Structures are given as C-alpha cells and as structure tokens.
Amino acid sequence: MSIERVAIIGLGLIGGSIGLAVQDKIPEIRTRGWDVDADVRRRAGERGLVQQVCDTAAEAVADADLVILCVPVGAMAYAADAIAAALPQGAIVSDVGSSKASVARALRHALPGATIIPAHPVAGTEKSGPDAGFADLFSHRWCILTPAPDADEAAVADLAGFWEGLGAKAEIMDAEHHDLVLAVTSHIPHLIAFTIVGTASDLEDVTQGEVIKYSAGGFRDFTRIAASDPTMWRDVFLTNRDAVLEVLGRFSEDLTALQRAIRNGDGDTLFELFTRTRAIRRQVVEQGQDDARPDFGRKDH
C-alpha cells in the first residue's frame, strides 16, 4: 500500500474514528484533519483525533496521498471545492457517504481529473460529533467501494488495503446497486424509525406520556435509530431519492397486504411472514452482523 499521508475533512463520528483507527492500527500513516466548525477543530485537537488539526482544508490536503471527505452527502460538493486548489496530483479522493451515485457525480464535477473512489464504511452509531469517535468503529464491518469502471486498479487496491488495515472488510460494488441495497438495509429502516417515533410523539397527549414511560424493547430500539444525526439523514434521503422511493413503494404495498390480513383475520398470512422474518434474523446473527445474546447483549439496567 502506497498511502503514507491521509487528510480527513470532517472530524465528527466517522472522521474522528478514522483518525483514531489509523493511529491505533496503522501508526506509520501520518494524519491531518480539518472541520468547518472551529469548535469541532478545537475538540479534535484536544482528543488527538488526528496528528495535526489544520486551520484550512487546503492545508490539510497539501501533501496527502489519500483525502477522505467525512461530511454529510449534501455537503460533498462544498468540501470538494474547498480542497480543489490544493489537491496534490495523483492523490486518491474518497468519502464515507451512505449514498454513492450522487456523491460520485458531485466529486467528478468539482474535481475533474482527480482520482475519485467513493466508499461507504457500513458502521456508525446514533451519536455524532468529535467526542463520538472511537478506534474500533470499523472492526469486522463492511466498507463498500464504488469505483467507476475505468478507475485506476492500483488506487482501488490501495484504498481497499487502507480500510482493511482499519479492521474493515472491503467490498467492490456498482454505485447504483449500492444505493438500492442500502435503501433496503439502512435508509428505509431509518425512515420507518423516524416515522413511528414521530407518530408516538403526536400521540403523547392521548397516551398521557405512557408511550415514553413504558417503552418496551421494540419502541426503544426505534428511538435509538431515530436519534441519528438529522443533517446526515436529511441529505441521505434527498440524494438517494430514486432508490428510496422505489423501495418505499414496495414496502407500502407489503404494509397494505399486512393490513388486509389483520382486517380479514388471516392468521396464516401473518404466521408465514413472521416465520420468514425470524429466519432472516437468524441469518443476520450467523453472519456476525449482530449479537444473539438476550436483549442484543445490552448492559442497560
């Protein structure tokens, strides 16, 4: 791997975790970072998220082999513009966004001729900001790379090697296919969580506060997802609009069928669906994507 100097633009949960992971797992790589928010830059320096917190984006990328844009997908064009004049020849430009086709278009437009390899580490928590990052965030998680068909193969291999060095499992995928897959596995589940928690809030007067007081496991899990960063998720839904609407349409049809089964007392349909979804849960656990212990291994009391 020929990556020796990494610039991280955006020092929140993902950017900060990358910086900490590099120092912990690939300490020979040098790191610089920048964030548009001066308070975030100050806190990043206090926590040592990167070896050098810079005052400008241009300073951060000045001698970088790899630049990672860790900003909301709606801000990718702004971040790319901020580094364009100082980007070294041959540097790899990547990102961590949850939608890929729109990011690729924005980066190609802002940085013509640059080596652009979009990526998405499928990892995170509901927390955000420079205090949220930790070095093991990417361990045993997937990082999906979505290079263009004509992308430099050596650069793709270098970026995959970088993420594998942080403990992730690298996978190559077409950008449009990635966006459809993530609409199913992440974006629609988040949309459902935002919606059900919002509905519960609307019903608080009717339930006299008991929705919150008696939150069982299901609703509690929804609130964890619904606590995710509003700016990031607003941008995800707007930039991955086509895939989200396609999957949401199918979900709406399935929900209508479920509603019909309940109305008609069709227990066989309900039992068949619940049996099938239970089997999917077992597959998720078997592939190491979650914890099979009671209550998902939580230590809550």
CB 33, CB 57: distance < 8 Å: no
- Cα–Cα distance, 230 to 260 (Å, whole number): 33
For 17-40, the pLDDT digits (tens) are 999 999 999 999 999 999 999 999
- Cα–Cα distance, 164 to 143 (Å, whole number): 8
Tokens 């597959």, residue?
283
Tell me, what's the pLDDT at 163? Answer: 98
Q: Which residue segments constitute the domains of the chain, with CATH numbers given?
A: 5-173 (3.40.50.720), 177-265 (1.10.3660.10)
Tell me, what's the pLDDT at 299? Answer: 53
**What is this structure's pTM?**
0.83
- pLDDT less than 50: residues of the chain: 296-297, 300-301
Residues 6+ away with beta carbon under 8 Å from 3: 29, 65, 66, 92, 158, 159, 161, 162
Tell me, what's the pLDDT at 217? Answer: 66
CB 11, CB 41: distance < 8 Å: yes
* DSSP label of 153: H
Tell me, what's the pLDDT at 121? Answer: 95
Tell me, what's the pLDDT at 277? Answer: 85
CB 37, CB 55: distance < 8 Å: no
